[in-house]
Structure 1
Amino acid sequence: METLANLESFVRSAETGSFSAAGRRLALTPAAVSRNVAMLERNLGVRLFQRSTRKLTLTEAGERFLAAIGGNLDALQAAIAGATSDQGEPAGVLKVSLAPTFGVTHLMPLLPAFLARYPAIRPEWHFENRAADLIAEGYDAAIGGGFELAPGLVSRTLGPAHIVAVASPAYLRGRALPKDPAGLAGLDGIVMRSIRTGRARHWAMRDAAGTEVATALPERIVVNDPAAMREAALLGLGVALLAVPDVLPWLERGELVRLLPHWYADAGAISLYYPTRTLLPAKTRVFVDYVVEAFRRERLAERFAGSLG
């Protein structure tokens, strides 16, 4: 009887074309994946891959074997996940990708109570300003915005990503407040340079009636991270256009002030992404449920809405 580890190593290596990439998905070293595949080949008595220094290529026998077991392996993994989720406590490494500022501000505070409830889960959280490839990189879940909903992924919207203009009370003292987004041109701008385009990001803001006005915030300070923008605003260096979740605690404490309270820009939604399976692993299922319940309990979707101003 062939082991599940050997079959998983073969299928993931075939999908990714690399022992290294397969190892990242399976939380194994490339050597371990290679060893599992070699054992499978030895047990079957056929060569499944042509190996080169650059990539793996399936042999004809490998292609036939992959076609025969590929879908069945997913069904078997789902069955195992379902069986283990019904007995014992959720356990294992929980690999999650998080937008850094949002993750530190709103997800890290949930961790103590989550681990108290599920002590056998070991979080491995990656804070990164990018849309990770959940399937290829072996993530259990991701939270953020801008993810392409590729085949094999599902998403649950947690709240809006509305952009608002903020500044410190000290910066605003003695200055005339703008009446609409065009008036931001007379203030010092703290802007972010896009990692993807290399250009500073500017927004068109809208009001409750749907009127849109382009912002012309001067590029007084340029950074590449929302947390740095927020800190610069707190230091009284100017006005920043930031997502409400990234500044909510500071707004609620009065350390930052929202300019143009009836105007905001819509940057889409903050969502929770995870691989679609008939039966999720217990560790992923309880994480998804815990985050969704925390957002409901704290009314975060409502508090993130810049349109409520």
Structure 2
Amino acid sequence: MQISDVEVFSAIAESGSLSAAARRLGLSPMTVSRRLATLEGELGVRLFHRTTRSVSLTAEGETFLPFATTLLEASEGARVSLKSNAGTASGVLKVTAPSVFGQSVIMPLIPDLLAEHPALRVDLTLSDSIVDIVGLGIDVAIRIATLRDSALIARPLAPNPRVLCASPAYLKYHGIPATMDALSGHRRIALHGMPYWPFMRDGDAVAIRAEGVFSANSVEAVRAASRQGLGVAMLTYWDVRDDLDAGTLRLIELQDVSPEQLYITAILPTRQHVPHRVGVFLERLESVLGTNGCLPL
């Protein structure tokens, strides 16, 4: 049942004729007649007695009138409510992000965000796997990976290059590799799903196999293993930024190659009618990334 058809029924009941209802709604008499016929067809009853000069409600029309009024009032109430909330951050903000990035960057934003927007709630899913944001009804996904072709909307937020790093103790004992060949002689901590480490040399893509005594399926485990001195890790800058600042990991820069450049990207299911809560969240996130995102490269 279409609200527009119910509006036609209500207008005819109030004005007493199809032509008057058409003028009131800014429609043609033919459109009004067609919409009334559609509504009667859906309900399976005749709603009006029609003569050449006027119309009047049938018994079924009288029965349907209060239901029609309730439907129209509910529809108008919904429109008013949604319009009044259009400029405020309200409702449930559903976000997904990689585990380490979500814990170290997004979680610190949440208290102030909720304090400033009392009508807002946050549902955060932390996962290093790519999730179906449309199927799960997620407002925005934060991703740090090479993006596949997709109908989804991608919005770059900040650069996030891959970096090589290791603990000071490991580098003191094994030395600091200066070239890709030298790196091949070091223990390398592998992240599942990334069997090769990608680099660029003079505009060409080159890679080295990630292999060593330890591998893991999560960024957090690889980062922890690297801090514990198990070898060299390739992660992204924002994964290890706090460790680099604290000195628990040290950056390794090779002279003959540079790691792949990635971006922190916001993925949206559509660019149309994006909720205000999403814009508020992304603004805050971009501000933090811009303030604290001075790359050491």
Contact 1:181 1:214 in 2 (8 A): no
Distance 1:267 1:138 in 2: 30
Partner of 2:233: 240
3-state DSSP of counterpart to 1:136: coil
TM-score (norm 1): 0.64
User: What amino acid does structure 2 have at the position aligned with 1:283?
Assistant: R
3-state DSSP of counterpart to 1:139: coil
1:222 aligns with 2:215: yes
Partner of 2:197: 203
Contact 1:181 1:205 in 2 (8 A): no
Distance 2:209 2:164 in 1: 12
Classify 1:186/1:146 alpha carbon distance in 2 versus 1 (closer, same or farther; 3 Å). closer
Distance 1:217 1:243 in 2: 15
Distance 1:226 1:161 in 2: 15
3-state DSSP of counterpart to 1:191: strand
User: What amino acid does structure 1 have at the position aligned with 2:280?
Assistant: V
CA deviations on 1:276-305 (whole Å, 9 max, x unpaired) are 34432222221122222222233x2x42xx
Structure 1: gaps of 5 or more residues: 4-42, 47-76, 195-199
Distance 1:232 1:106 in 2: 21
Within 5 A, what are the aligned runs for 1:80-99?
81-86=82-87, 89-99=88-98
One of 266, 270, 277 as aligned partner of 1:276: 270
Partner of 1:113: 112
Q: RMSD over aligned Cα, in angstroms? A: 2.9
CA deviations on 1:20-78 (whole Å, 9 max, x unpaired) are xxxxxxxxxxxxxxxxxxxxxxx9559xxxxxxxxxxxxxxxxxxxxxxxxxxxxxx99
Partner of 1:73: none
Classify 1:155/1:83 alpha carbon distance in 2 versus 1 (closer, same or farther; 3 Å). farther
Structure 2: gaps of 5 or more residues: 4-40, 45-77
Partner of 1:192: 191
Classify 1:142/1:170 alpha carbon distance in 2 versus 1 (closer, same or farther; 3 Å). same
User: What amino acid does structure 1 have at the position aligned with 2:129?
Assistant: R
User: What amino acid does structure 2 have at the position aligned with 1:231?
Assistant: A
For residue 118 of structure 1, report the CA deviation from its aligned partner.
1.2
Distance 2:141 2:217 in 1: 21
Contact 1:184 1:216 in 2 (8 A): no
For residue 245 of structure 1, report the CA deviation from its aligned partner.
0.9
Partner of 2:158: 159
User: What amino acid does structure 2 have at the position aligned with 1:185?
Assistant: S
Contact 1:164 1:243 in 2 (8 A): yes
Structure showing greater Rg: 2
Partner of 1:249: 242
User: What amino acid does structure 1 have at the position aligned with 2:242?
Assistant: P
Contact 2:195 2:210 in 1 (8 A): no
Within 5 A, what are the aligned runs for 1:34-49?
44=42
Classify 1:84/1:265 alpha carbon distance in 2 versus 1 (closer, same or farther; 3 Å). same
For residue 210 of structure 1, report the CA deviation from its aligned partner.
4.1
3-state DSSP of counterpart to 2:177: coil
Within 5 A, what are the aligned runs for 1:10-159?
44=42, 81-86=82-87, 89-144=88-143, 145-148=145-148, 150-151=150-151, 153-159=152-158
CA deviations on 1:175-226 (whole Å, 9 max, x unpaired) are 23222022112111111121xxxxx52123236x546553345422111111
Contact 1:97 1:128 in 2 (8 A): yes
How many corresponding residue pairs?
Answer: 225
Distance 2:137 2:274 in 1: 14
User: What amino acid does structure 2 have at the position aligned with 1:225?
Assistant: S
Contact 1:163 1:243 in 2 (8 A): yes
Classify 1:203/1:78 alpha carbon distance in 2 versus 1 (closer, same or farther; 3 Å). farther
Partner of 1:26: none
Partner of 2:253: 260
